[in-house]
Amino acid sequence: MNAPHSPLPVTFADVQAAAKRLAGVAHRTPVLTSRTADALTGAQLFFKCENLQRMGAFKFRGAYNALSRFTPAQRAGGAIAYSSGNHAQGVALSAKLLGMKAVIVMPQDAPSLKIAATREYGAEVVLYDRRRESREAIGRSIAAERGMTLVPPFDHADVIAGQGTAALELLEDTGPLDALVVCVGGAGLISGCALAAERLAPACHVIGVEPEAGNDVQRSLASGERVMIELPETIADGAQTQQVGELTFPIVRALVDEIATVTDAQLVRTMRFFAERMKLVVEPTGCLAAAAVLERVLPLAGRRVGVILSGGNIDAERYARLLLEYAETR
Ligand SMILES: *Cc1c(COP(=O)(O)O)cnc(C)c1O
């Protein structure tokens, strides 16, 4: 448990309000257990399966919560987002459900499944080169030209509150936990989840997990400032953020106890574990939290631990290739 903190930009009441908006719209995803996983770690593990959420990731929660709070004028203009994938699909599906237009700015090298799914939800996709162009600048200029409202992937109060409903549901289902392990990109998910845990399970340790190649949040916590890093090379494409958010950083500082990191090889072994043992398709980024637990990066024996599986969107070809490359080098 952390020391008392000054008022944060998002509150537990915001998470509860988001849960009301999402009721009957988002799936209440299952919480699965595995004797094999428990035996491997000596812990009692509860996996919150956001890979089974609508559009395949928790991002639907934050996007729908944000769009459903638009004013009538904002609804008329529509939503614009920049995203490497899951946030794009979350905004596209939410816009469709709420009867709005959506423009999504995506990198040219985003997984093809994510680009195709975004188009199938009825959004207009604008592609850019992530090594040469700034998605923020492209997003801002289209928003201004067309009168659309930009919905950022993590640094937005309504997005953070929406993401927190994943932990709210998990804790409602499991009761108090000793630890909650959550993957971290820009830290929207863990910020919302930490707000839920602070209220519903005050003794619960909140632990974030980043790719080893992109540990900007870990470094930011150590230095006390939002560290900016080079675009990380990792298979966890949903966690290739270069800097933690302005809103998410103070929440992480106040409510997150620790940040761990895992390697790409650990992510692939974890993907394989879910495929073979639990019959779950989890994308590399979605395995971050679970990899830290199952690969025993975090010592959690004897503890009741919640683990968020954040998403399951991966092309069949890429999925097969990752598992096969691993099998060949094992
Ligand atoms: C976006 C995303 C993350 C990271 O979430 P943040 O809110 O940016 O920390 C993790 N996993 C998946 C599957 C994602 O799509």
Instruction: List, edge to edge, every strand of the sheet that includes 205-211.
Output: 31-32, 44-49, 304-309, 179-183, 205-211, 258-262
C-alpha distances (whole Å) from 48 to each of 31, 178, 184, 239, 324 are 5, 15, 15, 19, 26
pLDDT digits (tens, 9 = 90+) for 299-319: 999 999 999 999 999 989 999
Is the confidence at residue 81, as pLDDT, over 90?
Answer: yes
Identify which of 264, 272, 305, 306 has the alpha carbon closest to the alpha carbon of residue 288: 264
Decide whether any atom of ligand 1 lies within 6 Å of the 59 Cβ. Answer: yes
The proportion of the chain whose per-residue pLDDT surpasses 90, expressed as a percent, equals 84
Decide whether any atom of ligand 1 lies within 6 Å of the 187 Cβ. Answer: yes
**Are the C-beta atoms of 68 and 98 separated by less than 8 Å?**
yes
Identify which of 130, 111, 57 has the alpha carbon closest to the alpha carbon of residue 317: 111
Is the confidence at residue 200, as pLDDT, over 80?
Answer: yes
How many A from CA of 286 to the centre of ligand 1?
8
pLDDT digits (tens, 9 = 90+) for 220-252: 999 999 999 988 999 998 898 899 999 999 999
Decide whether any atom of ligand 1 lies within 6 Å of the 208 Cβ. Answer: no
User: pTM surpassing 0.75?
Assistant: yes
**pLDDT of 3:** 61
Number of the ligand 1 atom closest to the C-alpha atom of 85: 15
Decide whether any atom of ligand 1 lies within 6 Å of the 313 Cβ. Answer: no
Is the confidence at residue 1, as pLDDT, over 70?
Answer: no
pLDDT band at 131 (very low <50, low <70, confident <90, very high): confident
Average pLDDT for the chain:
94
**pLDDT of 330:** 52
Decide whether any atom of ligand 1 lies within 6 Å of the 285 Cβ. Answer: yes
Looking at residue 242, its amino acid is Q
How many A from CA of 185 to the centre of ligand 1?
5
**pLDDT of 328:** 60
Taking residues 134-159, report their average pLDDT: 93
Q: Which residues of 20-51 are buried (b: 16+ CB within 10 A; e: fewer)?
A: ebbeeebeebebbebeebeebbebbbbbbbbb
pLDDT digits (tens, 9 = 90+) for 248-293: 999 999 999 999 999 999 999 999 999 999 999 999 999 999 999 9
**pLDDT of 136:** 84
How far apart (Å, rounded) are the C-alpha atoms in residues 92 and 90? 6
How far apart (Å, rounded) are the C-alpha atoms in residues 118 and 318? 18
How many A from CA of 194 to the centre of ligand 1?
15
Query: Which phi and psi (to 5°) does residue 166 adopt?
Result: -65, -45
**pLDDT of 212:** 95
How far apart (Å, rounded) are the C-alpha atoms in residues 300 and 273? 18
- Helix crossing, 112-120 with 86-97: angle to 10°? 10
Identify which of 290, 268, 310 has the alpha carbon closest to the alpha carbon of residue 38: 290
Decide whether any atom of ligand 1 lies within 6 Å of the 183 Cβ. Answer: yes
How far apart (Å, rounded) are the C-alpha atoms in residues 310 and 288? 9
**pLDDT of 145:** 94
Lowest mean pLDDT segment, chosen from 7-11, 49-53, 157-161: 7-11
Is the confidence at residue 84, as pLDDT, over 70?
Answer: no
From 86, 237, 246, give the residue whose CB has the most ligand 1 atoms within 8 Å, as the site to mutate. 86
Number of the ligand 1 atom closest to the C-alpha atom of 50: 13
